């Protein structure tokens, strides 16, 4: 979508709002805020604003607006709007004036990417830097809302899984890599390729396993990292059903192909193989014992993978049966750890509740959490199950909204706010300019509103200036974002 004029990436009614504001409006400030949680989790991860700034406020505006001939821009703008909204309801002269200015007069301040923020706290402030273009602040609202809410929700989902992993790994494992405990397998079920890349990038703040190659490119493009120079994310070698089916059609069994994988194709590499294509438990209880020699001589880890049935039952029972066949050791915390040549894996359908249940059942039966590798699919990235109720992830999961709260009329401050009497308080906005700060004793993030631009509290603010007048002012690397979320040693 960044191949279109970004001033056409708006709701229709946004094109009419500049005329509806007071004529003397010279400044406008809006804040993005998660207003309320519709799930039990009441914090959200700030992520994706930097990517939006680079992809749209810089690249799209420069290439699809400022670099184009103004008459071409105006012709398209008028053609589209004249055919689709009432003639005379928009003013192309403003577009011409912005083009003549030559840059985007917008300033963005935000909480550092990777911040875990409670509800009701402003996470981003957007203001105009030129008195003639206060109208721009709300014109681009739909664009930055659409491009950021999903990355924040996905990053939050990843962090929710990571908190479960932290709990059970701390209790049952020694020196195990928490960041390798779960992987993202949601690509094919996402809304589109861009959505899959952005969503999985959010996941990579908490884990390094992903099946989504474009997530690596997304992180490189927008978060100052290189996968060939640092740890961005990893894929895995795995079969799929087409591999198992075609070989079964030739061999008449699955044992032949598994032996070839172990001894000929990947003798020195770890890999997983989906083995439920026909009879999962036959593979586990009959074929794997016959392949024990090959598995134990294999220079890597072999992970038999289930893909149907009850994931909790399948993966926990698989651990017990692998222990019976291949044995293992007991770690210093008293929990059993499978021989390093085998692990159990379930690469999809692992919801947050199921992940917690799997680790709890393993612990109850004396097994460490790192005996399994789990996977989150598109369902888990778009929906959560709480107490048997399915709740979809949307912009409203955390009530993410962008509201104007402060303006100036010829330099005179005006306080803006909404407070519907018909609402339960969720939609009540801030009032005036805001200052976000962290309590020095508790570490809790809070905010003060009701300020004007001249108040010193506005400068003493956790909201950092990151973008101004078509340029990035501050950037966060992937390593910095991960450290902000997990702590410098937590990832």
CB within 8 A of 34, min separation 6: which ones?
A: 44, 117, 119, 120, 121, 123, 152, 398, 399, 400
Structure tokens at 479: 């390593």
User: How many angstroms separate the CA atoms of 331 and 367, rounded?
Assistant: 10
Q: CA distances (Å), 130 to each of 65, 99, 116, 315, 414, in order?
A: 18, 13, 32, 59, 17
Residue 451: what pLDDT? 96
- Classified as helix, coil or strand, 343 is coil
By CB atoms closer than 10 A (0-12, 13-18, 19+), residue 445 is buried
Bridge partners, residue 106, by sequence: 128
- Classified as helix, coil or strand, 437 is strand
Query: Contact 203/215 with Cβ under 8 angstroms?
Result: yes
Domains identified in the chain and CATH numbers: 6-139+399-486 (3.20.140.10), 160-392 (3.20.20.70)
User: How high is the mean pLDDT in each 10-residue block of the chain (491 residues)?
Assistant: 88 94 95 95 97 98 98 96 90 96 98 97 98 97 96 97 97 95 94 95 97 98 97 96 95 97 98 96 98 98 95 97 98 98 92 96 98 93 89 94 95 90 82 94 94 90 97 98 91 82
Q: Where are the beta strands (DSSP E) in 212-324?
A: 271-274, 302-306
Residue 1: what pLDDT? 59
Residue 254: what pLDDT? 96
Cα distance from N-terminal residue to C-terminal residue, the chain: 33
Output phi, psi for 211, to 5 deg.
-95, 0
User: How many angstroms separate the CA atoms of 474 and 465, rounded?
Assistant: 7
Signed CA dihedral, 335, 340, 341, 343: sign only: positive
pTM equals 0.95
| One-character DSSP codes across 71-99 | HHHHHHHHHHHHHHS-TTSS-HHHHHHHH
């Amino acid at each position: 979508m960044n191949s279109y004029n970004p001033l056409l990436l708006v709701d229709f009614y946004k094109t009419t709002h500049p005329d509806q504001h007071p004529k003397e409006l010279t400044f406008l400030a809006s804040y993005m805020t998660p207003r309320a949680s519709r799930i039990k989790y009441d914090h959200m991860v700030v992520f994706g604003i930097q990517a939006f700034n680079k992809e749209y406020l810089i690249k799209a505006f420069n290439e699809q607006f400022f670099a184009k001939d103004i008459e071409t821009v105006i012709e398209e703008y008028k053609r589209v709007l004249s055919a689709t909204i009432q003639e005379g309801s928009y003013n192309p002269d403003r577009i011409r004036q912005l083009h003549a200015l030559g840059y985007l007069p917008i300033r963005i301040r935000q909480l550092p990417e990777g911040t875990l923020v409670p509800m009701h706290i402003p996470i981003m402030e957007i203001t105009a830097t030129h008195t003639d273009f206060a109208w721009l602040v709300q014109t681009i609202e739909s664009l930055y809302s659409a491009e950021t809410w999903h990355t924040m929700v996905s990053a939050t989902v990843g962090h929710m899984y990571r908190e479960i992993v932290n709990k059970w790994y701390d209790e049952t494992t020694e020196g195990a890599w928490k960041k390798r405990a779960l992987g993202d397998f949601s690509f094919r079920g996402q809304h589109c390729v861009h959505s899959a890349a952005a969503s999985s990038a959010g996941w990579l703040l908490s884990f390094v396993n992903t099946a989504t190659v474009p997530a690596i490119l997304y992180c490189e493009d927008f978060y100052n990292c290189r996968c060939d120079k640092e740890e961005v994310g990893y894929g895995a070698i795995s079969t799929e059903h087409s591999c198992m089916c075609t070989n079964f059609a030739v061999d008449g069994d699955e044992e032949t192909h598994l032996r070839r994988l172990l001894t000929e194709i990947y003798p020195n590499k770890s890999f997983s193989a989906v083995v439920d294509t026909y009879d999962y438990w036959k593979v586990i209880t009959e074929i794997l014992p016959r392949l024990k020699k090959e598995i134990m001589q294999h220079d890597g880890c072999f992970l038999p993978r289930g893909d149907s049935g009850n994931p909790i039952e399948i993966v926990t029972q698989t651990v017990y049966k692998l222990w019976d066949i291949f044995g293992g050791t007991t770690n210093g915390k008293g929990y059993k750890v499978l021989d390093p040549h085998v692990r159990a894996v379930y690469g999809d359908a692992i919801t947050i509740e199921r992940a917690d249940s799997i680790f709890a059942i393993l612990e109850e039966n004396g097994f460490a959490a790192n005996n399994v590798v789990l996977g989150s699919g598109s369902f888990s990235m778009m929906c959560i199950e709480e107490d048997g109720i399915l709740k979809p992830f949307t912009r409203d999961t955390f009530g993410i909204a962008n509201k104007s709260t402060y303006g100036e009329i010829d330099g005179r401050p005006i306080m803006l706010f909404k407070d519907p009497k018909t609402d339960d308080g969720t939609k009540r906005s801030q009032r005036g300019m805001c200052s976000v700060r962290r309590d020095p004793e508790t570490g809790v993030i809070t905010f003060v509103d009701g300020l004007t631009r001249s108040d010193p509290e506005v400068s003493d603010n956790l909201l950092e200036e990151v973008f101004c007048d078509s340029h990035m002012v501050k950037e966060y690397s992937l390593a910095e974002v991960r450290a902000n979320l997990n702590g410098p040693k937590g990832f």
